[in-house]
C-alpha cells in the first residue's frame, strides 16, 4: 500500500512537470509567433513607406518638368493608380507621421488632377484603364509562362512517344498514327488547364490550414487572379484571348496618345 502511494506521488509529480513543460513550450511558441509577426509587420511598413516616398518623389519631379496642365494631371492619376492597385490607404500605416505623409501625397496628386479640364480627365481615366489592362494581360501571360516553364513541350513529346509506340504494336496502329497531331495538341494543352484551374479558383489562401495545400497555392501568386479565363477552355483560346485584349488596349492607348502627346512617357514611369 505504501509502495502504491509512493508511485502515485511520483506519477503526480511527473504529470505536474509535464504540464509545466507543456505550458513553457506554448509560451515559447507564442513568443516566437509574436516576434515573427512583428518582423513581418516591420518589413511591410518599410515596403509601403518606401513605395509612397518613391512615387511621390517621382511624381513631383515629373510635374515640375512640364508646363502642360493635362500632363500634370496625368502624373497625378497614374501616381494614385499605383496606390489603388495595391489597395493602399492611410489605414495601412502604423505611425501618425506616415499616415499624414500619405494623406499629403494624395492631396498633392488630387491638386495636380484638378488642373485638367473635365473632358481631359475622362480621356486620362480611359488611358489609365487601358494601361492597367495591358499590364494585366502581360502579367497573365508571364504567369502562365513561369508556371509552364517548358513542361508542356515535355508532356507533349512524352505523350506522342507513348502514343506512337502503342499504335505501332497494335493491329490498328497505322490508322491511329493519323491522330498523333491531335494527341500532341491535347497533351500540350494539359498544362494550360492546370494553370486555368488555379487562376480561376475562388479561394482565400490565408484561411487554409498550414500544410501542403496552403504552401502549394501560396507558391502560385496568380491563384484566383484571372476569373475571366473560366470561359477560355484551351491554350489556343488563351493565346487568342491575350492577343485580342492586348490589341484593344493598344488601340485605346494609341488613341489617347494622339490626343495627349507625352502621356506614354508618364505612364511608363508608373505602370
φ, ψ dihedrals at 210, nearest 5°: -60, 140
pLDDT band at 100 (very low <50, low <70, confident <90, very high): very high
Q: Do 261 and 147 belong to one domain?
A: yes
> How many domains does one find in the chain?
2
Query: Nearest 5°: CA angle at 21, between 17 and 22?
Result: 115
Q: Do 89 and 135 belong to one domain?
A: no
135 three-state secondary structure: helix
Q: Do 87 and 210 belong to one domain?
A: no
Buried b (16+ CB within 10 A) or exposed e, 30-54: eeeeeeeeeeeeeeeeeebbeebee
Q: Do 102 and 152 belong to one domain?
A: no
Q: Which residue has the cell 509502495?
A: 3
Give the end of a domain, one of 75, 90, 114: 114
Q: Do 40 and 102 belong to one domain?
A: yes
Q: Do 159 and 267 belong to one domain?
A: yes
Q: Which residue has the cell 489609365?
A: 128
CA atoms within 13 A on the CB side of 230: 7
Q: Do 261 and 248 belong to one domain?
A: yes
Q: Do 256 and 166 belong to one domain?
A: yes
Residue numbers of the domain that contains 20: 1-114
pLDDT in tens, 47-60: 999 999 999 999 99
Measured on CA atoms in the order 69, 70, 73, 74, is the torsion positive or negative? negative
Q: Do 148 and 46 belong to one domain?
A: no
Q: Give the cell for residue 96.
A: 501618425
pLDDT in tens, 196-214: 988 998 877 666 666 655 6
pLDDT band at 238 (very low <50, low <70, confident <90, very high): very high
Give the end of a domain, one of 114, 147, 168: 114
Are 80 and 106 within 8 A, CB to CB? Answer: yes
Are 120 and 260 within 8 A, CB to CB? Answer: yes
Q: Quick one: residue 140, left, alpha or beta (phi over 0 = left, psi -120 to 50 = alpha)?
A: alpha
Q: Do 137 and 271 belong to one domain?
A: yes
Give the end of a domain, one of 80, 114, 148: 114
Q: Do 44 and 93 belong to one domain?
A: yes
Q: Do 136 and 237 belong to one domain?
A: yes
pTM (2 decimals)?
0.74
Asked whether residue 33 carries a pLDDT value surpassing 80, the answer given is no
pLDDT in tens, 153-162: 666 666 666 6
Q: Give the cell for residue 80.
A: 494614385
Q: How far apart are CA 159 and CA 169, in angstroms?
A: 16
DSSP 8-class letter at 116: S
pLDDT band at 168 (very low <50, low <70, confident <90, very high): low
Amino acid at each position: 500500500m505504501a509502495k502504491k502511494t509512493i508511485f502515485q506521488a511520483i506519477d503526480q509529480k511527473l504529470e505536474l512537470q509535464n504540464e509545466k513543460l507543456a505550458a513553457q513550450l506554448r509560451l515559447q511558441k507564442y513568443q516566437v509567433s509574436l516576434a515573427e509577426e512583428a518582423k513581418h509587420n516591420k518589413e511591410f511598413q518599410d515596403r509601403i513607406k518606401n513605395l509612397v516616398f518613391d512615387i511621390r518623389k517621382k511624381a513631383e519631379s515629373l510635374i515640375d518638368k512640364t508646363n502642360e496642365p493635362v500632363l500634370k494631371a496625368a502624373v497625378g492619376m497614374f501616381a494614385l493608380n499605383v496606390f489603388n492597385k495595391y489597395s493602399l490607404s492611410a489605414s495601412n500605416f502604423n505611425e501618425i507621421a506616415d499616415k499624414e505623409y500619405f494623406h499629403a501625397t494624395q492631396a498633392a496628386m488630387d491638386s495636380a488632377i484638378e488642373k485638367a479640364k473635365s473632358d481631359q480627365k475622362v480621356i486620362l481615366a480611359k488611358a489609365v484603364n487601358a494601361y492597367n489592362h495591358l499590364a494585366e494581360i502581360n502579367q497573365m501571360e508571364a504567369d502562365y509562362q513561369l508556371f509552364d516553364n517548358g513542361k508542356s513541350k515535355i508532356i507533349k513529346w512524352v505523350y506522342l512517344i507513348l502514343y506512337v509506340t502503342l499504335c505501332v504494336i497494335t493491329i490498328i496502329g497505322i490508322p491511329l498514327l493519323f491522330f498523333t497531331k491531335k494527341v500532341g495538341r491535347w497533351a500540350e494543352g494539359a498544362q494550360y488547364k492546370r494553370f486555368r484551374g488555379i487562376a480561376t479558383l475562388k479561394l482565400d489562401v490565408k484561411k487554409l490550414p498550414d500544410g501542403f495545400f496552403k504552401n502549394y497555392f501560396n507558391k502560385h501568386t496568380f491563384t484566383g487572379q484571372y476569373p475571366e479565363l473560366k470561359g477560355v477552355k484551351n491554350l489556343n483560346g488563351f493565346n487568342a484571348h491575350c492577343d485580342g485584349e492586348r490589341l484593344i488596349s493598344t488601340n485605346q492607348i494609341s488613341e489617347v496618345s494622339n490626343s495627349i502627346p507625352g502621356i506614354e512617357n508618364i505612364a511608363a514611369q508608373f505602370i
